[in-house]
Structure 1
C-alpha cells in the first residue's frame, strides 16, 4: 500500500515504468508495464524477480531468444470467435508469424530444460498445436499474400486473369504501334487512366480510332483513349477480378471457421507473447542501468551495497559522469536513520534512492545495486516528500505535512517503511522541532522502519540517545567546501551553513553578525561535528597509508624468508657435495697407495718401475691439490655484459644472471630474488663457473620472467582488493624492469578507475597514465608508464 497515491511520481517510479515501456516490442507489453505496481506478496515478488534475472542472463550469456514478431492475436482471436466473420490475409499472416514465434520460443526452452525454470513456468502445460500453422500455411504465403492455388477455382480465375491481361496488352500494343506509325500519337508511351491502359492521341486524331476517352491533358491537345477491342477485354478482366475477390473471401471464411475451435489456445499463446515481451523489457532496462537481483527476504529490512539511483545514473551516463554509490542498512536494531548534513549534500537523493529501489524490488524489477544486497518486503510505504500545499483544500505547506504525520502515526506498524524529507520544517523551528521529535518517538515506539532527513539539532540529539534510531550524515569536504555525496552512518552531520555562506561570498560583517546571534551551545555542537568529520577523514587517510606500508613490509619479509631459505639450501647442498668429494678423494688415494706398494713389491723394487709408479702418484696428488690463485684484478668497465650473461659481485661470492641493463645499472636475478647494482660492481663469469644448483634455480625465475604478464584484470573486485593486487603487480614489474602496466578495471561508474589512478599517483616511479584507445576499451583500461 502506498500513501499518498502520488508517491510513485515523487520517487520517480512512474518515470521508471516509462523507460521500461520504451523497450517493449508490442502494445500488449506496454499495457502490461502500465499495470506494474508495488506488491507485498513475497512469492510473487520472488517469481517476477527471478524471471527478469533469467531473461537478463539469456540476453547477456546465451543465444538470442527467437522473438521477432509480436502481434495482438487476442483481438484477432476474438474477431474469429464471431460466426460469419473472417480474418483478412494480413491478419492471418500476423497469426502465422506470432505462432511461429511461440513455437520457436518453446523449442528454445525445451533445449535448455531446467536452466531457466521461472521462464519455463510461463508456458508450462501449454500444448504445441502445429495444425494451426499448417492450415494457415496452405492458404497464406511467406509474404502474407493468399496463395494462387489456395483452391482450384482461385487458380482457374487467376490463370484466366493472366491470359486476359496478356491478350489485352498484346492488342493495345498493336494498336499503339499502328497509331504511332500514322503519327496519330502524342509524345510518350502507354499510360494508365482510371485504372485502364490508354493510348495518348493528339486531339485532332481522336476520331480515327474507335474507343473510349478517359482523360485529356491540361492543354487539351492530348486525349487518353482506350481502344474498343481492349475495352471489352478489360471488362472481362474486371469481372474475373470480382470473381477472384469473392473466391478469396470464401477461402478466408472457411479458414476462419477452421481456426475458430482453437480460439482459447490462441488466447493462451497471446498471454505467453505478452509476458515474454514484458519480461524482456524489464531485463533490457536492467542491463541499461547495470541492475542485479538482490537476495529477497520476507522481513521488514534491507541492506543495499553500492546502490545507485537509476534515473540519476542514466542522466550521469549521458554526461559521462559517475554516481557515488550508497551503502545503507535498516534492520531490527537500526530501524530509523536520521540523515543530516549540508544543503545540496545529497540527503534527499539518498532517501529517494532507498525508496525507489525498495519500490522496484517489490514491483519485481532488478535494481542497480550489488548482487549481495538484501531487500525485504514491506506491507506499507508512506512517503512525505515535497510541498503538498493545496489552495483547493485550504492546506498550507505545514498543514499538509501534519496531515501526513497524523496518517503515519495512526496507520504505521513494524511492516511499514516511512520516508520523510526535511522532517519538521514549514513552521517556527522552536515548535516544529519538538513536534517532529514527538512524531519520531511515536513512530519508533511502533517499530516502524524508515529514513528521515533533517537539519534540526534536537532530532540529531534524540537519535543519538534513542534505541532503534541511528544518526547518519552526508560527508562534506570542508577543505574544498564540496559535498562528497557519501552516506556515513553513526554520527550526525553539520549543516556547514556558515562555511557554505562564506564560499558563496556573503559579506564577512554579515557572517560575523550571524555568528553572534547563534547560541554558544549550538556553536560548540556544530564546531564539534565539523572537527569530528575532519579528524575522521585524517584517521581514514592515515589508516590507508599504514595498510599500504604494512602490505609492503609483509611482502619484503616474505621475500627475505624465501632468500634465506634459498641460501640455506644452497649452503647445505655445497657442504654435502664437498664432503662426498673429499670422501671419494681419500678412498681413491688409499687405493692408489696400496696398489703402488703392491706393484713395487711385485717388481722387487725395480728402479724404473718404482720411478714410474712414483711419477703417477705425484701426478694424482697434484690433481687433487687446491691451487691458491692470486687475487683477480677489478673487472674492466668496458667489458661487454648483456642480458642472459652470468656475473659475480666483485666484493662477494654472489653469482646471478643478468636480466636487463639500464644505463650504468644491471638488473640481476639470483633465484627468485631480483636486485639492481652498479655496472662496475660486477664481473662477467662463464656458465661453467656457475654452480649447477644456482643455474637450476635460475631456470624457474627465467621462466617466471618469460611468463610474467604486465597486465591485470580487477573488474568486479572490491577497491581494497584491487589496489592490493595492483600493488603486487607494480612491485614485480619494478623488480623485473618492465616499463608499462595494463590495468583492466571496466567503465562502470568510474569509481574504481579513479581510485586506482589516485593510488598510483603516489609512486614516484610512475611517469604518466593514459586511457586505452576508444576502439579497444577506452576509459575501461588504464596504461601505466613507469620512469
Structure 2
C-alpha cells in the first residue's frame, strides 16, 4: 500500500516509468510499464530483478537478440477468433513477421540453455508451431502480397486479366496513333480517368471517334475519351478484377479458418513479445542509469552502498555536470529511523527521496544505481509526507495537511512500513510544532517503523540521540568554502548553518548580530557545538586519509623489500656457485700470467729494463684481476631498469640470456613472448635492448613468425571429441593464432544436439582476444561451423 496516492509522483517514480516506456517498442509493452506496482512477495521481486539483469547481460555481452519485428497483433488475433471474419493481407503479414521473431527468440535462448534461466521462464513450454507460418507463406509472398498462384482459380483469373490488359492496350495504342496521324489529339499521352485508359482528344474532334467521354479538361478544350472498341475489353477486365477480389477474399477466409484453432497459442506468442519488450525496456534503462541488482532479503531493511538518485544521475550525465555524490546508509532492526539534519539545499530531501525511490524501483523489478553489494528488503507499506498538500476544497492549511498524514501514519504504520517525511514538524509555531513532532516520532518508534525523516528542529536531534532505534545523521557542509558537500554522515546531527549562510549571501552584519542576540543562549551553544564538531570531524577525516595514504606507501615499500629478500634467498646458492667458478677462472688466468712472466725474465737473462717492463705489465694485469674479483664477490644481482618498459619493447632475460618481446605488463611482472612460447618475468630481471641488438632480435622474430604462419592451419575439426578434449585442442590453436597474429579461425563442431557448439562459444566469449564469432553461411554448413575473429 502507498499513502498518499501522489507519493509515487513526488518521489519521482512516475517519471522513472515514463523513461522506461519511452524505450518500449509496442503499446502493449508500455501498458505493462503503466501497470507496474511494488511487489511484496520476495520470489516475485527476485525473479523480476533477475530477468532484467539477465536481459542487461544479453544487451551488453551477448549476440544481439533477434527482435526485428514487434507488431501489436493482439487485435488481429481477436478478429480472427470470431467465426465468419477474415484477416487482410497486411494483418496476416504482420502476424507472419511477428511469428518469425518469436521463433527466432525461442531458438536464441534454446541455444543458450540455462545461461539465462529467469528469461527462459517467459516462454517455458511454448512450442514452435511451424504449420502457422507455413500456411501463411503458402499464400503471401515476401512483400506481404497475395501470391498469384495462391489458388488455381486465382492464377487463371490473373492470367486472363493480363491477357485482356495487353489486348486493350494494343487496341487503344492503335486508335491513338491513328488519331495523332489525323491531328485530332491534344498534346500529351494516354492518361487514366475513372480507372480507365483514355485518349486526350481536342473538343472539336470528339465526334470523329466513337467512344465514351470520361472527363473534360479545366479549359474545356480537351476531352478524355475511351474508344468504343476498347470499352468492352475494359469492362471485361473490370469483371475479372471483381472475380479476382472475390477469390482473394475466399483464400483469406480459408486462411483465417486454418489459423483459428491456433488462437490461444497466438495469444501466448503475443504475451511473450509484450513481456520481452517490457523487460528489454527495463534493461536499457538500467544501462542508462548504471543500474545493478542488489541482494534481496526477506525483511524490512535497507543497506545502500554508493547509491545515486537515478534522475539526478541522468541529468548530470546529459548536461555533463559533476558526478552525483553517492549515498551510503543502513536502516535495519537496530537503527530503524534515520533523522537527517543539516543546512538548507544541503541534500537532505534528495537523500530521503533517493531511499524511497530506489526502494520503490527495486520492489517493482527495476535495477537501481548502487553497488551490487547493497541489500534491499521488502516493505508492505510506503508512507510519505513530502511537500505542501494544503487543500482549498478540504479547507486544509499546510500544517493541517501534515497533521492529517501524521494521524494516518500513527494509526496504520507498523514494522513493515517505510516512512518518508520531509521537514518534519514545520508549518506552525516551532514552540508547539517541535513537541508535537517529537511525540509523533516517539509513537512511530515504539511501533518499530522504518524510515528517513529530515528536520531542522533541535529538540528532535536531542531526542534521537537519547532514543534507541533512532539514529542521527547529517549532510556535511564545508565551513571554509561555505558550500554543502552533499555527503551523508551517520551518527551525529548537523547544524542548519543559518547564520553562516546568511553571512555568505551578504546579509548585513548588524542584522546577523541582532538575530544572534534574539535566539536563546542554549540554542546558540548547541548550534555552535554542532559546527565545531563538524569542523573537527573534517580535520580528523583529512588526517585519517593522509595516514591511510602513508600506510599504503609503506606497505608497497615493504612488499618490494620482501620480494627482494625472497629473490636473494631463492638465488643465493646459484650466485655463490657462479661467483666461485668465475673466481677459479680468474685465479687460473693469474697463475698463467705469473708463469709466463717468469719464463720471459729467464729468457732475457734477467735484463733490468726488460724485467722492469714485465713487472709493470704484471702489476697492471693484477689490478684488472682485482677489479674482477671485487665484481665476483659483490655481483649486481638486480637489474634496475633505466626507463619504463612498454608493450612491444625487446628485452634480454638476465638469468638465461634469452631475448624476448614484451606483450603485456601487469604491475611488477612482464609477460614475454619467446617465439610461440610465453613466460612471466619480474621487471628487475630483464634488460631493455636498443639499437643493433633490438634490430637483430626483431629480425629473428620475424623469420620465426613467417615460418609459423606458413605452418599454421586456421581450421580445426573437433567433431566426435569429448567437450574437454575439444576445448583443449581449440585452446592450443587459439594461442598459436594469437602469437602469430592470425585474423580468424574456422571451427568445425557439427550440429548434433548443439551441446559442443554451446560449450565452444562459451569458451570463445571468455577468451579476451576473440572479438566476435558467427555461423558459417547456411549453404556451407550453417551453425555446424563457427568462425572466430581475433582482435
Equivalence for 1:318? 318
User: In the TM superposition, what are the counterparts of 1:17-416 in structure 2 within 5 Å?
Assistant: 17-321=17-321, 322-416=323-417
Q: Residue 414 of structure 1: CA displacement?
A: 0.8
Cα shift readout 1:73-128 (whole Å, capped 9, x = no counterpart): 32222211211111111111122111111111111111111111111111112222
Whole-Å Cα distance in 1 between the matches of residues 215 and 524 of structure 2?
97
Equivalence for 1:761? none
Whole-Å Cα distance in 1 between the matches of residues 109 and 476 of structure 2?
49
Equivalence for 1:501? 502
Give the 3 Å change call, closer, same or farther, for CA 267–711 of structure 1 in structure 2. farther
TM-score (norm: length of structure 2): 0.76
Give the 3 Å change call, closer, same or farther, for CA 200–703 of structure 1 in structure 2. same
Number of residue pairs aligned between Structure 1 and Structure 2: 650
Give the 3 Å change call, closer, same or farther, for CA 17–582 of structure 1 in structure 2. closer
Equivalence for 1:683? none
Cα shift readout 1:739-777 (whole Å, capped 9, x = no counterpart): xxxxxxxxxxxxxxxxxxxxxxxxxxxxxxxxxxxxxxx
2:17 corresponds to 1:13: no
Equivalence for 1:640? none
2:415 corresponds to 1:457: no
Q: Residue 64 of structure 1: CA displacement?
A: 1.2
Whole-Å Cα distance in 2 between the matches of residues 511 and 171 of structure 1?
104
Tell me if the contact between 1:566 and 1:671 (Cα under 8 Å) persists in the aligned partners.
no
Tell me if the contact between 1:671 and 1:697 (Cα under 8 Å) persists in the aligned partners.
no
Whole-Å Cα distance in 2 between the matches of residues 251 and 569 of structure 1?
87
Whole-Å Cα distance in 2 between the matches of residues 262 and 139 of structure 1?
17
Give the 3 Å change call, closer, same or farther, for CA 630–281 of structure 1 in structure 2. closer
Cα shift readout 1:300-329 (whole Å, capped 9, x = no counterpart): 001111111111111111111221111111
Whole-Å Cα distance in 2 between the matches of residues 561 and 627 of structure 1?
42
User: In the TM superposition, what are the counterparts of 1:599-748 in structure 2 within 5 Å?
Assistant: 670-672=638-640, 696=654, 708=665
Give the 3 Å change call, closer, same or farther, for CA 137–494 of structure 1 in structure 2. same
Give the 3 Å change call, closer, same or farther, for CA 180–511 of structure 1 in structure 2. same
Give the 3 Å change call, closer, same or farther, for CA 265–554 of structure 1 in structure 2. closer
Cα shift readout 1:584-628 (whole Å, capped 9, x = no counterpart): 99999999xxxxxxxxxxxxxxxx9xx99x99xx9xx99998867
Give the 3 Å change call, closer, same or farther, for CA 187–48 of structure 1 in structure 2. same
Whole-Å Cα distance in 2 between the matches of residues 347 and 376 of structure 1?
22
User: In the TM superposition, what are the counterparts of 1:402-481 in structure 2 within 5 Å?
Assistant: 402-481=403-482
Tell me if the contact between 2:424 and 2:455 (Cα under 8 Å) persists in the aligned partners.
yes
Whole-Å Cα distance in 2 between the matches of residues 470 and 432 of structure 1?
21
Whole-Å Cα distance in 1 between the matches of residues 191 and 381 of structure 2?
74
Q: Residue 562 of structure 1: CA displacement?
A: 5.4
Whole-Å Cα distance in 1 between the matches of residues 173 and 618 of structure 2?
123
Cα shift readout 1:167-212 (whole Å, capped 9, x = no counterpart): 1111111111222222221111111111111111222221121111
Whole-Å Cα distance in 2 between the matches of residues 374 and 256 of structure 1?
52
Give the 3 Å change call, closer, same or farther, for CA 631–299 of structure 1 in structure 2. same
Tell me if the contact between 2:583 and 2:632 (Cα under 8 Å) persists in the aligned partners.
no
Gaps of 5+ in 1: 592-607, 633-646, 657-668, 677-693, 713-728, 737-787
Aligned to 2:654, what secondary structure does the other structure show?
A: helix
Tell me if the contact between 1:585 and 1:624 (Cα under 8 Å) persists in the aligned partners.
no
Whole-Å Cα distance in 2 between the matches of residues 711 and 588 of structure 1?
40
Tell me if the contact between 1:40 and 1:377 (Cα under 8 Å) persists in the aligned partners.
yes
User: In the TM superposition, what are the counterparts of 1:548-627 in structure 2 within 5 Å?
Assistant: 548-560=549-561
Give the 3 Å change call, closer, same or farther, for CA 191–270 of structure 1 in structure 2. same
Aligned to 2:9, what secondary structure does the other structure show?
A: helix
Q: Residue 392 of structure 1: CA displacement?
A: 0.7
Cα shift readout 1:538-569 (whole Å, capped 9, x = no counterpart): 22222222222233333344445656777899
Q: Residue 711 of structure 1: CA displacement?
A: 13
Whole-Å Cα distance in 1 between the matches of residues 484 and 478 of structure 2?
6
Whole-Å Cα distance in 1 between the matches of residues 468 and 437 of structure 2?
17
Q: Residue 445 of structure 1: CA displacement?
A: 0.7
Give the 3 Å change call, closer, same or farther, for CA 706–138 of structure 1 in structure 2. closer
Whole-Å Cα distance in 2 between the matches of residues 698 and 464 of structure 1?
69
Aligned to 1:483, what secondary structure does the other structure show?
A: strand
Aligned to 2:338, what secondary structure does the other structure show?
A: strand
Cα shift readout 1:13-58 (whole Å, capped 9, x = no counterpart): 1111111111111111111111101111111111111111111111
Q: Residue 60 of structure 1: CA displacement?
A: 0.8
CA RMSD of aligned residues (A): 3.8
Whole-Å Cα distance in 2 between the matches of residues 352 and 654 of structure 1?
69
Q: Residue 72 of structure 1: CA displacement?
A: 2.6
Tell me if the contact between 1:185 and 1:199 (Cα under 8 Å) persists in the aligned partners.
yes
Aligned to 1:138, what secondary structure does the other structure show?
A: helix
Whole-Å Cα distance in 2 between the matches of residues 575 and 442 of structure 1?
80
TM-score (norm: length of structure 1): 0.76
Whole-Å Cα distance in 1 between the matches of residues 661 and 538 of structure 2?
41
Tell me if the contact between 2:579 and 2:633 (Cα under 8 Å) persists in the aligned partners.
no
Cα shift readout 1:109-166 (whole Å, capped 9, x = no counterpart): 1111111111111111222211111111111112111111111111111111111111
Cα shift readout 1:620-669 (whole Å, capped 9, x = no counterpart): x999988676799xxxxxxxxxxxxxx99x9999887xxxxxxxxxxxx9
Give the 3 Å change call, closer, same or farther, for CA 311–558 of structure 1 in structure 2. closer
Tell me if the contact between 1:672 and 1:698 (Cα under 8 Å) persists in the aligned partners.
no
Equivalence for 2:519? 518
Cα shift readout 1:477-509 (whole Å, capped 9, x = no counterpart): 111111111111111111111111111111111
Tell me if the contact between 1:191 and 1:198 (Cα under 8 Å) persists in the aligned partners.
yes
User: In the TM superposition, what are the counterparts of 1:525-536 in structure 2 within 5 Å?
Assistant: 525-536=526-537
Tell me if the contact between 2:13 and 2:357 (Cα under 8 Å) persists in the aligned partners.
yes
Whole-Å Cα distance in 2 between the matches of residues 39 and 487 of structure 1?
29
Aligned to 2:344, what secondary structure does the other structure show?
A: coil
Tell me if the contact between 2:341 and 2:495 (Cα under 8 Å) persists in the aligned partners.
yes
Q: Residue 71 of structure 1: CA displacement?
A: 2.3
Aligned to 2:139, what secondary structure does the other structure show?
A: coil
Whole-Å Cα distance in 2 between the matches of residues 5 and 70 of structure 1?
34
Equivalence for 1:642? none
Cα shift readout 1:659-712 (whole Å, capped 9, x = no counterpart): xxxxxxxxxx95247699xxxxxxxxxxxxxxxxx9936969x97989658999
Give the 3 Å change call, closer, same or farther, for CA 704–530 of structure 1 in structure 2. farther
Whole-Å Cα distance in 1 between the matches of residues 439 and 283 of structure 2?
44
Whole-Å Cα distance in 2 between the matches of residues 623 and 366 of structure 1?
87
Tell me if the contact between 1:53 and 1:293 (Cα under 8 Å) persists in the aligned partners.
yes
Whole-Å Cα distance in 2 between the matches of residues 455 and 443 of structure 1?
19
Gaps of 5+ in 2: 593-598, 645-651, 670-682, 690-791
Give the 3 Å change call, closer, same or farther, for CA 276–577 of structure 1 in structure 2. closer
Give the 3 Å change call, closer, same or farther, for CA 392–652 of structure 1 in structure 2. farther
Aligned to 2:303, what secondary structure does the other structure show?
A: strand
Q: Residue 296 of structure 1: CA displacement?
A: 0.5
Whole-Å Cα distance in 2 between the matches of residues 56 and 304 of structure 1?
21
